[in-house]
Amino acid sequence: MRRKVIVGNWKMNMNLHQSQKLVSEILNGLGKESKVELILCPPFTSLFEVNSLIKNTNVKLGAQNMYFEESGAFTGEVSAEMLKSVGCEYVIIGHSERRVIFNEPDELINKKLKAALSNDLKPIFCIGELLENRENGQTIQVISNQLNKGLDGITSEEIKRITIAYEPVWAIGTGKTATPLQAQEVHLFIRESVAKKYSSSVGENLVIQYGGSVKPENSGELLSQKDIDGALVGGACLKADSFLSIIASA
Ligand code: PEP
């Protein structure tokens, strides 16, 4: 059976002090027997500290982005190896805010995925359609294109270390959520596409999270869909009580 994975994407929120407070509130509220895999993705400036706070717990650390080169004259960028050195196990790649605000194309995202994998990081690979895509009936075409380009050249061993996050762009930070049925339909398509490209067992074991205005009021129903294996949570992960309720619903 696939595990449930809940990711908290703090985005550009939480200074060092706020990060310490949020992590201790989350840790205090977590059930000891929780079967959910929990990954926290604070901003770069809090990674080292959050890593030391979650030591000796089952909580994992992830970064929100990285660059594909190993080192050199890339002002403002951070490499996979640097992320590993502060305790990251995961890295979000291709978040829609990177794609839309920072113009990251599929080809760059593919390079980042490969660099993360070759440095032993586990990528959380984000894909999702814009509102106009959905309104024009192009959702499946867009998802298929992002999958094909993003996973180009990635082997059947490597795909096992990737988690996919389906995040309809129109639902991120907008308060609008895809209905459980809309999300399930795309998740199933993603699973079937990955199964076709690699193998049915790779498809069956692939963890696919949903992201887009997930909150305590809608998480239970979304997470009960057959092909929804977790959630990538933005806004609602910044308050311990709402994040803990989402975790409990998983
Ligand atoms: C996200 O950051 O990936 C996200 C889905 O944000 P929100 O939950 O705020 O929509």
The reply to whether 95 belongs to the active site is yes
Task: Check if 97 has its Cβ closer than 6 Å to any atom of ligand 1.
Answer: no
The parent domain of residue 194 ranges over 5-249
Express each pLDDT in 57-107 by its tens digit. Answer: 999 999 999 999 999 999 999 999 999 999 999 999 999 999 999 999 999
Express each pLDDT in 91-148 by its tens digit. Answer: 999 999 999 999 999 999 999 999 999 999 999 999 999 999 999 999 999 999 999 9
Domain count for the chain: 1
pTM (whole model) above 0.95: yes
DSSP element (H, E) containing 58: none
DSSP element (H, E) containing 82: helix 80-85
Give the closest residue to 7 by CA, choosing from 149, 158, 174, 126. 126
| CATH number (domain holding residue 196) | 3.20.20.70
- Contacts of residue 127, defined as CB under 8 A and 6 or more positions apart, other chains included, come to 94, 143, 146, 147, 150, 164, 165, 166, 167, 190
Q: Of all atoms in ligand 1, which is nearest to the CA of residue 211? A: 5
Rg (CA), the chain: 17
Two structure tokens written together for 161:
């270390």
Q: Of all atoms in ligand 1, which is nearest to the CA of residue 92? A: 3
Q: What's the half-sphere exposure (Cβ side, CA atoms, 13 Å) at 27? A: 18
Q: What's the half-sphere exposure (Cβ side, CA atoms, 13 Å) at 161? A: 18
